Chain A
């Protein structure tokens, strides 16, 4: 479905964000791209969403090269946007319609789905996301969790087959995080392809996704199952996803490897 061949990207012709990344994602896959801050996760997702274009290498969707030129083709633009949905890390940016209901209707109306069907989709989604009471509210009057729900709803309303989610659980309370994990698993079970960018190792474990690890040099260091990657402490140390941690237990000082979820093992 998605193929990246030796993709590189630089910002302002100076700052490297991705270097020689090759990756293939098939229908129904559940993929997590993990890496430290600034490793290029968001850039990679934005390339897969056809929002940025590689400065080197190729990005193919259903064997068609995705470029500024190909996305100017009416047929391909519709086909691509119908199938690929992207949820931004910053929901504030993503929500640009006057109210929550307008937000949910925007995508389906772009796809020229009739108004009745678009309304049905919007209300079904609001029910699923428990945001029915917010339908007339403007986005700037929503909490962080509500904004995230609306942002996800606005993309789901287009019913894309591939969902790209940038740091989906970032800054959310535990209850909303649980809700999102359940939602992502359910969507994947229903056949949707999920690609998530995150540095939250607990999310990777919960989703049991195929994991691609981006290094701080912006290279794809390794691809493997969640178990394989999460057990590879050398790799996680190298890419700065776990670190040496010192703390006290009573009067005993411990030093050990630590991530904020997985590695909190004591040798004594």
Chain B
């Protein structure tokens, strides 16, 4: 073997030297983004898997929780006033507290998504171009009003009172719906959610797809993170954004191939264990008295919100 070892590997030269200086490596935005995204997905997954058993909501049957989620999301969508939305928000906050979830992590995710999916989406409707009404914050003045298709653009473009009301209402609805969904997701193991959906007569095909997607998200984020580490282990210099983009483009192809192969393997494994076309689930545990009490209480609160 020693004879076959290339001469450059036998070079006994001591390691070079370096000087710690001020020349810093800029980490490409894409690299940092990938790393952050995978860690967020994995943290979320593990937090879900390891959801504490001691909180209030964790003790309630998954069927009750799924029905609670559906019922309350409908209520949130039906309410037209800001105060009822705020009351619902406070109620969910209390449930989150009693379920011993990490408040800061929980609401940082809810508010971040709420900002993008609620506030930013609704923001244009705050202007009098879309929502007419009393202008309380003029922004731009144009020489004359314009009429375009079904739109009327007034000479004084600004934010209206009605527009702000609409944006606030939509943002609150989105935040409330997200916090309700996260509350159920973080306090219920995934297999129980799937079984609860089966009870609600959700089609098997849909359940198979979400089960496989759920598992794949974790595998995918682990693969991406490992590939990033593999690249990092051989990265001895600064990489430009162009190089980072090229690398990612190549990796997308790799992940696609890997996904296809894994998909085939998973399907073979399912067939090998007798899968036909239906999901067979073992029976739910019997509902306990405490589950009925919790269900009745949540129903009562829900009706109360409907009435106010």
Contacts and interface: CB of A to CB of B under 8 A. Distances in A.
A192 B232 CA distance: 22
B43 interface: yes
Interface in B10-62: 10-12, 15-21, 23-25, 27, 42-43, 46-47, 50
A190 B10 contact: yes
B272 interface: no
Interface of B: 1-2, 4-12, 15-21, 23-25, 27, 42-43, 46-47, 50, 223, 226-227, 229-238, 247, 250-251, 254, 257-258, 261
Interface string A183-200: 101110111100000000
Given A12-B43, A73-B20, A93-B230, A128 B6 contact: yes
Nearest to A15: B46
A194 to B, nearest CB: 13
A14 B234 contact: no
For the complex of A and B, the 7 pairs showing the least CB-CB separation, nearest first, are A124-B6, A81-B236, A79-B18, A75-B18, A93-B226, A74-B23, A182-B1
Contact of A14 (B7, B50, B237): B50
A13 to B, nearest CB: 8
B226 A88 contact: yes
A12 B20 contact: no
Contacts of B23: 73-75
Interface of A: 11-12, 14-15, 46, 49-51, 62, 64, 70-79, 81-83, 85-86, 88, 90, 92-98, 106-107, 110-112, 120-121, 124-125, 127-128, 140, 154-156, 158-159, 161, 182-183, 185-187, 189-192
B251 to A, nearest CB: 6
Main secondary structure of the interface of A (DSSP, over half): helix
A214 B109 CA distance: 37
Contact of B231 (A96, A155, A161, A187): A96
25 contacts: A11-B46, A14-B46, A14-B50, A15-B46, A70-B20, A71-B25, A73-B21, A74-B25, A74-B238, A75-B19, A75-B20, A75-B21, A76-B20, A77-B25, A78-B18, A79-B17, A81-B236, A120-B8, A125-B6, A128-B4, A128-B5, A159-B8, A183-B1, A183-B5, A191-B10
B277 to A, nearest CB: 31
Contacts of B223: 93
B230 A88 contact: yes
Contacts of A156: 9
A11 B49 CA distance: 14
Contact of B9 (A78, A98, A127, A159): A159
Contacts of A94: 230
Contact of B232 (A51, A76, A95, A121): A51
A170 to B, nearest CB: 16
Given A14-B46, A74-B24, A96-B251, A190 B233 contact: no
A110 B236 contact: yes
